Every structure is written in structure tokens, then in C-alpha cells.
Amino acid sequence: DTGVSQDPRHKITKRGQNVTFRCDPISEHNRLYWYRQTLGQGPEFLTYFQNEAQLEKSRLLSDRFSAERPKGSFSTLEIQRTEQGDSAMYLCASSSPLTGAVNEFSYNEQFFGPGTRLTVL
């Protein structure tokens, strides 16, 4: 299967512990996004990479969250000192490079992984 993969699929942790999630995007995709989704809500943007560069980070993201994509391939999302409010589904998505002129006609769909469900007790 050559889709987006995430590991682990489920994580249960105690409040105050650190957790790290991994995302492996589709191999030729240079863009990688992290989102968080809680029940009954749409995904919330967390951060975005183009190759290894982290180009955008949500203003809502606390300093306890950090993401890396060291070689422009897989990415990790770490949450330090977890809180119960961090319980959510963490989704990773990737998209391929845009080619040609970039305008309102151009759009590369984001391919989502299955997510990592985090439960903080």
C-alpha cells in the first residue's frame, strides 16, 4: 500500500507524559500537514511542511507541541506534558508538488492517513 501511514493508530497515556507520533507520507509528496480532530468537529490545522521546512504553525498550537520532518520524508509530532484536552485524533495528510502556474485553477488534493487516536487519562 502506498498511501499515507501513521503510527501508532492508538495511544493511551497519562497526563503529564510525552508522546510522539509518526507520519509517512506518499513518497513523492513534498507537502505534509498535521491536523487535530475532536468528535463532531472538522479537522483543525496544526502545522505544515514543504520538504523539510516547517512553513506554517497554527497560532493556536501551544509550545508543548513540536513537529519535525528532518529529511523531507517522514514527520513526527511530539506533545510534551500531555493534558486531557489533548485527547483527539491526530491526522496527517500529504500532497504532491504543484506544477506549472499556481492559480485558483490549481489544487492538489490532500491525502489523509488513518490518524492516531490519543487518549490522555
Partner 1 sequence: GQSLEQPSEVTAVEGAIVQINCTYQTSGFYGLSWYQQHDGGAPTFLSYNGLDGLEETGRFSSFLSRSDSYGYLLLQELQMKDSASYFCAVSEDSNYQLIWGAGTKLIIKP
Query: Where along the sequence are the contacts to partner 1 (CB under 8 A)?
Result: 31, 33, 35, 40-45, 48, 50, 55-56, 91, 93, 95, 98, 102-115
List Cβ neighbours of 88 (8 Å cut-off, separation of 6 or more): 36, 37, 38, 117, 118
In this complex, which beta carbon is closest to partner 1, that of residue 28 or of residue 105?
105
Closest approach, Cβ 45 to partner 1, in A, equals 5
In this complex, which beta carbon is closest to partner 1, that of residue 17 or of residue 119?
119
List Cβ neighbours of 20 (8 Å cut-off, separation of 6 or more): 76, 77, 78, 79
Closest approach, Cβ 79 to partner 1, in A, equals 20
Collapsing DSSP to helix, strand or coil, 18 comes out as coil
In this complex, which beta carbon is closest to partner 1, that of residue 66 or of residue 80?
66
Closest approach, Cβ 92 to partner 1, in A, equals 9
Question: What is the enclosing helix (H) or strand (E) of 84?
Answer: none
In this complex, which beta carbon is closest to partner 1, that of residue 63 or of residue 109?
109
Closest approach, Cβ 109 to partner 1, in A, equals 4
Collapsing DSSP to helix, strand or coil, 20 comes out as strand
Query: Which ranges in the chain belong to alpha helices (H)?
Result: none
Question: What is the enclosing helix (H) or strand (E) of 52?
Answer: none
